[in-house]
Chains A and B, each alone.
Chain A
Amino acid sequence: MVLLYLGLGTLFGFVLSRSGAADYDFIQGMFLFTNFQLYGIIGSAVAITAPSLYLLKRYGKTLTGKPLVIELKPGHRGNVVGGILFGIGWSITGMCPGPILVNIGEGKVYALAALAGSLVGAGVFGVSYPRLQGIMRLPVLARGTGDG
């Protein structure tokens, strides 16, 4: 199975790299509304995934016959606040989490700094979870904000 995950990650990374999804200029073009590419990528990915997902859920099993389990993400104030913070970070770096790794792979040295910042940011979040729980209405610690 490890090889499957590695293979899917590689295909995902290659597509992100060659499509502009891991490219600083394409990301700024999306936010400036001067480049349609990223809207096309995300839109078509959702348009193809949604019906496939619907059919798979109706079938109700994985290809190996196990019952299909999709844990839904919880709703909380962090969706808005965290979303806004992430959007600022996506604009600053031109990278979302997957493309940070893709950019490092491509040889873009500065992406290492983006990864370091992301790990520190995620670390600070995890450590301060009990303090954020009340104000952000987050689920119990064992469940977390949603696994993405």
Chain B
Amino acid sequence: MLILHQTQAIHWALAGLGISFVTITLLAVANRRLGVSTGFEDLCSLVLDAPYFKRSAVTSGRPWRLPLLGGLLIGGVLSAVLGGGWSPTWDLGMFDTDIGWGNGGKVIWMFAGGLFIGFGTRLAGGCTSGHGIFGLSNLELPSLVTTVSFMGAGVVTTNLLYRVIL
């Protein structure tokens, strides 16, 4: 069951097929390797003028990365609308039942987690899509190293929180 409208999740193979379709189409038509986290740099480059954000790898990606990020947002809206209607929600599943912090606590928790995501993905040179899907599919060693690192850290962190601390 998804947190969103308590909907039944689609089969994993259908999701894998959909993600593959997006990845291959992006490459076959537009010559782009799938990746989301560099989009954060695109957004940063709109307001920060450190040399890192002025490099052409970041600025030249804007015409395709920003629409892709916008599409991810629209996909979420569409999913909510078609699944029972769109409305703002603070529901957070087992975080609510096991940890039970209020909205203010969730904002702090999420912001702190976001810092790790933003800094970590950019230091690693990619996230689940760029390393985990594209890099692994292209048999790239740095992607295997990164994927093992983030999966391992996630397993340790979640188990520490839900099986040791709680």
User: Footprint of B on A, CB under 8 Å?
Assistant: 1-28, 30-33, 36-50, 52-53, 56, 62-64, 66, 68-76, 78-98, 100-111, 113-127, 129-130, 132, 136, 141-148
By the criterion CB–CB under 8 Å, are A110 and B103 in contact?
A: yes
By the criterion CB–CB under 8 Å, are B71 and A24 in contact?
A: no
Q: List 17 A-B contacts (CB under 8 A).
A: A9-B69, A26-B9, A44-B15, A45-B19, A79-B125, A82-B146, A83-B148, A85-B124, A87-B157, A96-B129, A98-B128, A106-B86, A119-B44, A124-B119, A125-B123, A148-B37, A148-B131
List the A residue with the shortest CB-CB distance to B125.
Answer: A146
Residues of B within 8 A of A93 (CB): 109-110, 113-114, 117
By the criterion CB–CB under 8 Å, are B145 and A8 in contact?
A: no
Q: Beyond A106-B76, A116-B114, A147-B38, list 5 extra A-B contacts (CB 8 Å).
A: A13-B78, A18-B7, A117-B113, A118-B40, A122-B119
Residues of B within 8 A of A50 (CB): 136-139
Residues of A within 8 A of B89 (CB): 106-109
Contact of A117 among B19, B63, B92, B117 (CB under 8 A): B117
Q: A31-B158, A102-B72, A117-B110 are in contact. Are A136 and B126 (CB under 8 A)?
A: no
Residues of A within 8 A of B19 (CB): 12, 15, 41, 45, 49
User: Footprint of A on B, CB under 8 Å?
Assistant: 1-4, 7, 9-10, 12-31, 33, 35-41, 43-44, 48, 50-53, 55-58, 61, 63-64, 67-80, 83, 86-95, 103, 106-143, 145-159, 161-163
